[in-house]
Amino acid sequence: MSLFTRSVVAVTELAPVEAAITGTRAGRLLADQFVAGDTLAEAAETAAALNKSGLDVSLDLLGEAVADREGAENATLGYLECLERIAVDGLEANISVKLTQLGLAIDRQVAVASVERLAVAAARVGATVTIDMEDSRYTADTVDIYADAQTQHGNLGVCLQAYLRRTPADLERLMLLGGHIRLCKGAYVEAEEIAFQGSADVDAAFARLLTVLMGAEGVRPAVATHDPGLIELTRQLGEQRSAGFEFQMLYGVRQDEQQRLVDRGHDVRVYLPFGSAWYPYLTRRLAERPANAWFFFRALVGR
C-alpha cells in the first residue's frame, strides 16, 4: 500500500480531521459524490435511475463494527428492508453486507444468524447477498461463514481481496461452491506479511487471480476494478467464457466507463452505498486517489 494511502488513512483517523469532514459543507459535497444519500428512499431512487441506464446495483447500508447486539439487529432489519424495497420497486439489485455490521466483532453466532435471515429473505424476492471482505482480522471467519451459508442456500457471493497473500487458497476453495465472487484489490492498511504493499505487486496478484477466476465456469466472476488494464484483461478473458460475468464499479467513479461497458454489451453492477455512517467508507475513497483528497481540500477553503 502506497505512502500516500497510509498517510491519508492516518490523517483521517484524527478526531479534528473527522470533525472537519463530517461537519462541513465541503465534506458533505465530497460524500455526495460517492454515497447515494442517507436514506433507503434516496438510494432506491438512484438505483432505479441506474437501472434505466442498463446498470445493475448492489445496495450497501453503510456501517461496520457495531458494538452491541442491538446495532447488529438494526443493521439486519435495514437490509431486510432493502430486500423488500428491491422487490416492491422491481429493482435489478442485490445487497452487500459487512459481517462486523451484523455482529461478527461481538459474537460470531449473531453474524451467522443474520446471514441466515438475509439469505432466506433474498431467496423469497429472487435476489442475492454479497458478503463484503473487511480487514484481515475477520478474513478467516468471513470465508468460513460464507462457505457454510452458500452451501446451504446457494444465493450468496463473497468479496476476495487480491492483495492478501492468503487469497489464492481462498479462491480455490470458494470457486467450488458456485455463487458469485467479487474480486477487488483491497482497501485496508495491512502488514507486509499479510498483504502485498506495492501497486505493481497488487496488480500482478489481481491479474493472476482474475485469470483463475475467469477460467472457472461454475461461479460468476464479479470483477471490481476501475483499472483500464485490468478491465481490458477481463474483456479478453471473458471472450473465452461460456458462462456470464460482470464488472463491478463504485458509485461516483468512472461513470462514463460504466456506461461504455454496458453499451458494449457487458453486465455492470454499481456498488451503491447509502446511510449516515459514511465516514469510514469516504476515507477509503480519499485514500485511493489523490484527486479525491484534493477535491475536498479545495472545497474546504472555498476555491
SS3 252: coil
Q: 132, 135, 203, 267: which one is catalytic?
A: 132
The rounded distance, in Å, linking the Cα atoms of 152 and 148 is 6
Residue 298 annotated as catalytic: no
Query: Smallest Cα–Cα separation from 251: which of 53, 85, 101?
Result: 53
**Helices and strands in the chain, H and E counts:** 13, 8
13's grid cell: 483517523
Cα 240 from chain centroid (whole Å): 26
Q: Between the CA of residue 255 and those of 57, 144, 182, 241, what are the distances in Å?
A: 13, 34, 19, 26
* Phi, then psi, of 102 in degrees rounded to 5: -95, 10
CA angle 170, 130, 56 (to 5 degrees): 125
In single-letter form, the type of residue at position 138 comes to Y
Which residues does 104 contact at the CB level (< 8 Å), separation at least 6? 110, 111, 138, 141, 142, 145
H or E segment at 34?
helix 25-34
The rounded distance, in Å, linking the Cα atoms of 58 and 248 is 9
Residue 124 annotated as catalytic: no
The rounded distance, in Å, linking the Cα atoms of 161 and 269 is 18
Q: 85, 182, 220, 269: which one is catalytic?
A: 182
How many alpha carbons fall within 13 Å on the CB side of residue 193? 0
**Active-site residue numbers?**
132, 182
